[in-house]
Amino acid sequence: MIQRIRRFDWTQFGTIVVLLLLSVIFIFSARYQSGDVSLSGKALQQVVWALIGLGCYAGAAAFDYRRLAEIHWWVYAGAMLSLLLVFAFPEKNNAHRWIPMPGFDLQPSEFAKIALVFSLAAVLSLPSTDVDEPVTFLKAALIAAVPFFLIVVEPDLGTSMVLVPVTVALLFCAGAPARPIVILIGTGIGALILIGVWLTWLPDTCPFLTDYQKSRVLVYLNVNQDPLGAGWNKLQSQIAVGSGGLFGKGYLKGTQNILGFLPRTVAPTDFIYSVVAEETGFAGSGVLLALYATISVRCMRTAVKAIDLFGRLLAVGIGVLIFSHVFVNIAMTVGLMPITGLPLPLMSYGGSFMVTTMGALGLVQSVYLRRRKV
């Protein structure tokens, strides 16, 4: 037992706890302006979610991750089934993303991301798998494609997009030949540029994107397109971040957030980072960024130290998954990327995502606990 505790990755755990504390503090700030000062508001709900998340974390850390390799298909099948299940429920905000549960809405795409990491890691680490064979590539692509398209049709393009870097990173770290991966990445970037150009010049002819998605991309390409409509959140978020300055306006004093220029509904969820940036300035948002960098580093360190390839890939997959969310969310907040509905891990308000993130980080801890003895 003592040995276990000594082997525990305290740095990773400590970073997580700090992030959870910050989350509750700034969700309270984000809700402060709408008169939600009671402790029964969203901040308190987030405390409950954080505690449930810590439970999941402990459970996952105690669980021997190697047993996952045996049951990963069940997890994968369950996640895909729940992705299909969302279509059985009525639309909400024009999308089938949620399964209504008593008290909250379950978002199965959060679980699907983790399930994808499990299955890819397990399949790529099979002794019978030869990563040099093209068929391995196809297999991995197929495993990723099913949740990808199920999430695209919900529609939730933002969430499905994070599956791409995860798949690529796992292939790469499993030792697949570098050239096809580089070609893949190049094609992807080329396609994105093509869509951007297409939307800018001929927005009406572009297929497969909904009007809503088109407008968001267009706003990203040109902020002045519609400052009242789709551009509003972006403009406000940028002003909020910008007005933070070097040291911020102080806790509970962010006027953009307090006066409700950031839509009240999204401030505690997708735009929580802009609340932090406004109130704590460059110093605070930089610290937050450093905390996330620490998580990335610890995940990769776990990967290097893992006892087997499955553990390594698990750590890489989860590390990249969390990083992708962090990057996309912050990039959107500062106006580097179009607005997508991706939450900021451990900070944003929300249950499903909190539970999956904490469970996944618990698994990384599990890999770390059972690492090679140097």
Binding site for another protein (CB under 8 A): 66, 69-70, 125-127, 169, 172-175, 224, 226-229, 232, 235-236, 238-239, 241-246, 255-256, 259-261, 263, 277, 281-282, 285-286, 289, 292-293, 296-297, 300, 303-304, 306-312, 316, 319-320, 323, 326-327, 330-331, 334-336
State the Cα–Cα distance between residues 251 and 275, nearest whole angstrom: 9
137: which 2 tokens? Answer: 């590539």
| 371 and 302 Cβ atoms separated by less than 8 Å | yes
Which backbone phi and psi does 327 adopt, to 5 degrees? -65, -50
Q: Please, which residue, 17 or 296, has the CB nearer to another protein?
A: 296
Choice between 26 and 49, CB closer to another protein: 26
Minimal distance, residue 317 CB to another protein, in Å: 10
**DSSP for residue 31:** H
Which residue's CB is nearer to another protein, number 52 or number 331?
331
Cis peptide before 155 (omega within 30 of 0): yes
CA 344, CA 137: separation in Å to the nearest integer? 30
Q: Between residues 63 and 198, which has the closer beta carbon with respect to another protein? A: 63
Closest to another protein by CB, 20 vs 344, is: 344
Q: How far is the CB of 75 from another protein (least distance, A)?
A: 15
**What angle, 0 to 180 degrees and rounded to 10, lies between the N-to-C axes of helices 68-85 and 309-333?**
40
Residue 45 or 256: the one with the smaller Cβ distance to another protein is 256
CB of 10 to another protein, least distance (A): 20
User: At its nearest, how many Å lie between another protein and the CB of residue 58?
Assistant: 25
Q: How far is the CB of 249 from another protein (least distance, A)?
A: 9
The DSSP element (H or E) to which 362 belongs, if any, is: helix 351-369
Using alpha carbons, select from 69, 138, 97 the residue that is nearest to residue 343: 97
Minimum distance of another protein from residue 92's CB (angstroms): 14
Q: Smaller CB distance to another protein: residue 153 or 307? A: 307
Q: How far apart are CA 30 and CA 37, in angstroms?
A: 10
> Nearest-5° angle of CA 18, CA 372, CA 325?
35
By the 8 A CB rule, do 342 and 332 touch?
yes
- In the complex, least distance from residue 88 CB atom to another protein, rounded to whole angstroms: 26
Task: Name the residue nearer to another protein (CB basis): 106 or 171.
Answer: 171
Of 44 and 235, nearer to another protein (C-beta) is 235
For residue 288, the minimal CB distance to another protein (Å) is 10
- Min CB(278)–another protein separation in Å: 9
State how far the alpha carbon of 329 is from the alpha carbons of 38, 240, 258, in Å. Answer: 28, 15, 21
Q: What is the DSSP string of 51-106?
A: HHHHHHHHHHHHS-GGGHHHHHHHHHHHHHHHHHHGGGS--BTTB---EEETTEEE
What letter represents residue 104's amino acid?
Answer: F
Q: What would the two tokens of residue 282 be?
A: 């460059």
